[in-house]
Structure 1
């Protein structure tokens, strides 16, 4: 636990002429990720829902790093129409895209549906990022060698034994809020596996990661759901949590380390700080991964064209 880290900020290579997008880059681990990419001279887009917070993050990153190639990209993952528009807004800039870090997420929120009528944790954490990535994919392929990093969680182990019960995703009382979160994080890994397979033979490296238990705003969903008791519990638990700086290391490893290409890491699951991690049996189920792909693709098509 207190040994030498496998990867540190100092191990990030120079990223001059590289272009990166970090979803949820306005706060917490996402902010640190965007900042450190910028510090190494990447052209970074901070993608987030709040224009005010996103633009503030951009200005702070510019000040901290001296890199003026940092921009805000509006991305609202609760709206598939907005997600597609956001990706298209980026594509209209005619820039390459070498690094996509799908970092944004919500955790253990009270039952809510997205604008498209999808259970919010599954919709934001998985479906929105699926559409965002798929829309950007031709550009990512054209910019190879390139990376896609999907931020998952050790919580994926808490998904039901069947992995993803598709008929229960939109049933309000079928699962607890933590189970819904676990399912969305399992989906992140399964999507990474499927995408990595589809890109086999191409220089696009797709991996998923678990950042560790990090002190961020992610726990606000739990507090909103369970109230003051949860607030006190998480205030106590946060004493043992990683800093956002340490939490960002694993996704920065997957996004930038030369080892990813040298060792041809594809469809891997990394844990702090860049080690290959243990994952659940269901997260390695190719049949489930393909079922999820088709389910998500059909869902996106239905919602965008309804």
Structure 2
């Protein structure tokens, strides 16, 4: 039987959650559903005006959020600025005493080659390295939350099947030059970043194995959201074609509601803890699957972690 948001998602009174990229697409839907079940949700987003508009819309549409003790708050998070990622984590830590659910959802896809102000390929930093810089300072609070045996703490990385179909077989994370390769394709750069999402999740799971913290990654499905705009930016010649084909393909894409289901399953489903699902990969709809062999490479995962730690230390002067 397929896990269902309305039928199977548990109540979350007193829980605190963060959803990155929560002002649009599946992130917005994840925020909506967590808040509807009584959680206090931080919508981590770069643009405050867009986040506040999304929050107002959700609250207006769902009076049950207030009735169940839920709420939504804005948290400024710019994944293209590593110091800003650390600052966002510190701002959260000053406001809260617990963190039950972290969904690293924000991402971009197939954008033109560009280096961030920190000197990294923009998809790699936005999709992976920024989340790494944001997550590490939160871990002490996450661990403290998990020490209460009544808590079931979750960390979810939103990846993509793109980690397999677009990823290059010679990817390694041993230098800035390696991760900043053009690969001759915006989609291959996307594949590298989505591979990093799964490797990060798996390594995080290994490092937190002694705690009541369940770390998993997911592919949400092909969802009708704003993420496809990167393709048009990378391939201007295709814009007229995309205008024609997008409505056609849109009929076969998931809605954000259905696209959010697998992430919500990993973030809240009771069987994740019951069956001790750690370091797993889920695909629509809430189904466990095997990622690519690269994504299961523990040595590559350790290399990514060590490289990420080194880069955050060099660029920010420390990991917190």
TM-score range, shorter chain: over 0.9
Deviations 1:236-282 (A, max 9, x none): 32221000000000000000000110000110000112110131001
Aligned-pair CA distance for 1:95 = 2.8
Q: Does 1:238 align with 2:241?
A: no
Deviations 1:41-81 (A, max 9, x none): 00011110010011111112222222242101110100011
Aligned to 1:160: 168
State how far apart, in whole Å, the 2-side matches of 1:28 and 1:216 are: 5
Instruction: Give the TM-score, by structure 1 length.
Output: 0.95
Of residues 21, 29, 52 in structure 2, which corresponds to 1:32? 29
- SS of the counterpart of 1:276? strand
- SS of the counterpart of 1:143? helix
State how far apart, in whole Å, the 2-side matches of 1:295 and 1:232 are: 42
> Aligned ranges for residues 268-287 of structure 1 at < 5 Å?
268-287=280-299
State how far apart, in whole Å, the 1-side matches of 2:263 and 2:178 are: 30
Aligned to 2:179: 169
Aligned to 2:72: 70
Q: Does 1:209 align with 2:218?
A: yes
Alignment RMSD (CA, Å): 1.5
- SS of the counterpart of 1:92? helix
225-234 or 30-39: bigger deviation:
225-234
Question: 1:96–1:142: 8 Å Cα contact kept in structure 2?
Answer: yes
Give the total of aligned pairs.
Answer: 302
> Aligned ranges for residues 65-214 of structure 1 at < 5 Å?
65-66=62-63, 67-68=65-66, 69-144=71-146, 145-157=152-164, 158-164=166-172, 166=174, 167-171=177-181, 173-214=182-223
State how far apart, in whole Å, the 1-side matches of 2:25 and 2:192 are: 23
Aligned-pair CA distance for 1:131 = 1.0
Structure 2 spans left out of the alignment, 5+ residues: 147-151
Structure 1 spans left out of the alignment, 5+ residues: none
Question: 1:28–1:244: 8 Å Cα contact kept in structure 2?
Answer: yes
